[in-house]
Structure 1
């Protein structure tokens, strides 16, 4: 599954469902729109953290950061969850979106692209000691798990899919017989 590295505290805010935009200087490639990606918390801190304190979402963000930092729970160098990228725009109305000015001809000068995020999942236990990379990168750890189909015994299991019904979980399907296996059913 693809992963993207984000500095803290932004990575934690994304998986907590507080920050719904990831700002980048390049547009999100179309092939990733509608896809779920892992969120990797970088090994270092972000440098700036200044936002409007009067907004309810901003107050919630600071409460989350305070709890994670006070108790030493803010993870670094770890995959901490996943999120769906559902869109990419410039000047999104979210409080998290960095805005781009236009030049005197009405064109965006040095645009900041606002990747729209949805359906975050925070892992109960981060996947620790993972080195991040620039851009999108493949984290092979989860797809390397060999799963035996309880129906036909095949180990040819399709790459996982994610569902929220009846509760958030990863699903795997057997390429041979089509049996669907919930993550909680496989032996690792």
Structure 2
């Protein structure tokens, strides 16, 4: 199969369905094109604690749901997933689209899949390259990304192992999700919009916890002056930062 190489964390973010555009300085000859996603040995120098909120918020939600782990724990020098480059555009308004040198073309992704176990110790190459030993017929098992689901006043929410264990052991009773137009399409977070919610099922692998909801609210995130925090994307679109706060018993 064909492949292209990218630094972490962008590779895992693409395969997990978070980052829907890859910025490149060169155009593809033909699309759609199904490719393996290879991640190189070097990581992009970005700190998840200081990155722009426009990116940090959907990443945080994906980590809460157990879709991805911490950026520093993401594999390198590996084949981690597969995606289809649907089209190549010079203009795109995804929150992940950038302008300037090195971002002249936007590769728009679809049908992305993250492998459960990466294929390690694989060297990448420049451009689109071939990995003949991997074919569509022998792809590794992929992660089944489950969205948040609502059934009336009940929510089913996938959560990461660490958070699941804290709740199971009684050390935590709260879930937080960021809410804005930018992350609603990603993991069905639109289901978190204000509606009467009485109960939840938290799912982690084959385990689950059923709980009653004691508090369910959408609250603005305020700065030190008591004003709602706003942030912008590369196209100067403004977003107000709200959080869904769910407390359970």
TM norm structure 1: 0.62
Tell me the number of residue pairs that the alignment of Structure 1 and Structure 2 aligns.
Answer: 136
Cross-structure match for 1:95? 95
Q: Distance in 1 between matches of 2:102 and 2:41?
A: 27
On the 8 A contact 2:23/2:103 being kept in 1, the answer is: no
Cross-structure match for 1:86? 86
Flag structure 2 segments of 5+ consecutive residues without an equivalent: 145-249
Flag structure 1 segments of 5+ consecutive residues without an equivalent: 101-108, 144-158, 168-188
Compared with structure 1, are the counterparts of its residues 161 and 35 closer, same or farther at alpha carbon in structure 2 (3 Å cutoff)?
Answer: farther
Compared with structure 1, are the counterparts of its residues 51 and 95 closer, same or farther at alpha carbon in structure 2 (3 Å cutoff)?
Answer: farther
| Residues 1-188 of structure 1 mapped to structure 2, 5 A cutoff | 1-30=1-30, 33-48=31-46, 52-53=52-53, 55=54, 58-62=56-60, 64=62, 68-69=69-70, 73-100=73-100, 112-143=104-135, 160=137
How much has 1:47 moved relative to structure 2? Answer: 2.7
If each structure's strand is expressed as a fraction of its own residues, which one has the higher value? 2
CA-to-aligned-CA distance 1:77-120 (integer Å, 9 cap, x gap): 000001000011123010101125xxxxxxxx886100100111
Task: Tell me the C-alpha RMSD between the 2 structures.
Answer: 3.1
CA-to-aligned-CA distance 1:110-149 (integer Å, 9 cap, x gap): 8610010011100011111100000011012224xxxxxx
Which structure has the higher relative contact order (CA within 8 Å, separation 6+)?
A: 1
CA-to-aligned-CA distance 1:23-81 (integer Å, 9 cap, x gap): 00111221xx112100001111113467641x4x64122455796237x6410000000
Compared with structure 1, are the counterparts of its residues 51 and 116 closer, same or farther at alpha carbon in structure 2 (3 Å cutoff)?
Answer: farther
